[in-house]
Structure 1
Amino acid sequence: MMTIAEALLQAHQLIHSETPKLDVELLLAEILGRDRTYLYTWSERPLTDEQAELFNNWFNRRLAGEPVAHILQHRGFWTFELEVTPDTLIPRPDTELLVEIGLELLSGIEEAPRILDLGTGTGAIALALASELSRAQVLATDVMPGAVALAERNRQKLGCDNVEIRRSDWWSEVDGNFHLIVSNPPYIAQDDPHLVQGDLRFEPRSALVAQEDGLADIRQIITGAPTYLVQGGWLLLEHGWQQAEAVRELLRERGFSAIFSRKDCGGNERVSGGRWL
């Protein structure tokens, strides 16, 4: 019978993963219904036949490159777990920077803030902001029906009654004015080699790739945002690690002020924003 320790040793086979040890720990913890500390405290305990069969199935899927989040069908973001499907991007820790900055920018507003999350995917950004700002009214949109359905399931699971999920192709079904507009849009160029590597192979191209060297959707958002911002409102965008200068220039050309960029946990400029006055 396979023990927990023997299963953990298989991590060395995941040569194409950046986090092989963590991957195996997450799979085992899910199967056993325990936390990761348990795996090392009781490492000599055997898996049941059913547990071993499930582990081998999941491990082989990960060996083939399928993301752990797709195998487990959930991923942690901010302070909660989100359902994840192949219809959307897997929420990433760097995107939490959008939430952190958004909360900072809204901290001085006395009235109930109105927030728009464009291209919401799983609903991660909108739900994180709504969970921290109970008075806020949040509109989250996405063009893909599968993403809209997924975000709505996550909204219901978390009980965020101050969030509305709506299908919209960027600005097509948006109305009203907002104190904060946030977005993590597609920003990878079509010929980027990373698209055929790692977990990105399993994620929807429509949520990853944009024309104009990855800037087309960012440009569309920046162009339209002033129509939907209150005076003094903010626009925040996640972008590629080499795009900050180009995004700042687009914001400047459109007439935004107080333009800035902020670095992610890897030291790369990942979020840029500006204020509409």
Structure 2
Amino acid sequence: MTRGQALAAATERLAGLSATPRLDAELLMAHALGVTREALLLGGLAAPAPEDFGALVERRLAHEPIAYITGTRGFWTIELAVGPGALVPRPDSETLIEAAAAHFAGGPGPTRILDLGTGSGALLLAALDEWPGASGIGIDASPAARSWAARNAEALGMAARAEICDGGWTGTGERFDLILCNPPYIGTGETLPRDVAAWEPASALFAGADGLDDYRAIAPVLAPQLAPGGVACIEIGCTQAMTAGALFEAEGFDVVVRRDLGGRDRCLVVTHKRKSADFT
């Protein structure tokens, strides 16, 4: 079977479970060949399909995420290793980096960065790539997630700038210019796609009946961690802007909502109130 024929057959089989069956098939084929998707398409599809392509398709038919099968996921300007034990980075989460860049536009940028619930390290390492003069800490309670984050920091040449630590929402006792956080925000009764529910860690997804439990924990302990003039960029579900935002406003913060590329509410931009001159 040629590559083109194998792709067509795989696309047909994947159509029932994926919104992007052709893209999935191409990514799997490229992975089997050890090339980029672009190289696959430019190289022509008349050559024989790789022998292990079928096995990769079977894994996808079992709803395993593409990123877990290929072991990689692009995020912002970096490429990350991903796998079981860490949430797959989503393009929507890039909204947090965009919000941070807007906050520091025209200035020197952050010096110290904190990523609460770092997972694969996506947000921390993307921010360190954006601001090469900065250093930071990624905190996660999951040993598996910390392992992925440390691996990514090493692979990206950022191990000296990115410290990966065990911990929770209370941070390190230090103040940071930029705090990034993509906490769990799915209600326990909500239905998720099988790709997510059966494969990605529940501890990184679910946050109580209304999905707000972790925001309730973060809001009261955020102020001592955020430096004057700094910003916390916190991901939310697309229906949580008012409810999650109110929790931070109740703690005395200014809150602005930033939307993702799909026009959905995605990020709380949290800052100390401008009238407050002393945060000690």
Q: Same fold (TM over 0.5)?
A: yes
Q: Superposition pairs for residues 1-277 of structure 1, below 5 Å?
A: 2-9=1-8, 10-14=10-14, 15-41=16-42, 42-47=44-49, 51-52=50-51, 54-110=52-108, 113-160=111-158, 161-171=160-170, 174-194=172-192, 197-257=194-254, 259-277=255-273
TM superposition shift of 1:181: 1.1
Cα displacement string for residues 228-277 of structure 1 (whole angstroms, at most 9, x for unaligned residues): 112232221101110011122112111002x2111112211011122114
Aligned residue in 1 for 2:277: none
**TM-score, normalised by the number of residues in structure 2:** 0.91
Q: What letter corresponds to residue 270 of structure 2 in structure 1?
A: G
Give me the whole-angstrom Cα distance separating, in 2, the residues matched to 1:85 and 1:45. Answer: 30
**TM-score, normalised by the number of residues in structure 1:** 0.92
Give me the whole-angstrom Cα distance separating, in 2, the residues matched to 1:36 and 1:55. Answer: 14
Report the 3-state secondary structure (helix = DSSP H, G, I; strand = E; otherwise coil) of the residue aligned with 2:88: coil
Contact 1:143–1:170, Cα closer than 8 Å, also in 2 = no
TM superposition shift of 1:112: 5.4
Range 245-254 or range 179-188, more displaced: 245-254
Give me the whole-angstrom Cα distance separating, in 2, the residues matched to 1:55 and 1:43. Answer: 14
Cα displacement string for residues 90-141 of structure 1 (whole angstroms, at most 9, x for unaligned residues): 0011111111111222335448521110000000000010111112121110
Report the 3-state secondary structure (helix = DSSP H, G, I; strand = E; otherwise coil) of the residue aligned with 1:202: coil
Give me the whole-angstrom Cα distance separating, in 1, the residues matched to 2:66 and 2:108. Answer: 41
**Pairwise CA RMSD of aligned residues?**
1.6
Q: What letter corresponds to residue 242 of structure 1 in structure 2?
A: T
Aligned residues: 269
* Structure 1: runs of 5+ lacking an equivalent: none
Quote the sequence identity (%). Answer: 39
* Structure 2: runs of 5+ lacking an equivalent: 274-280
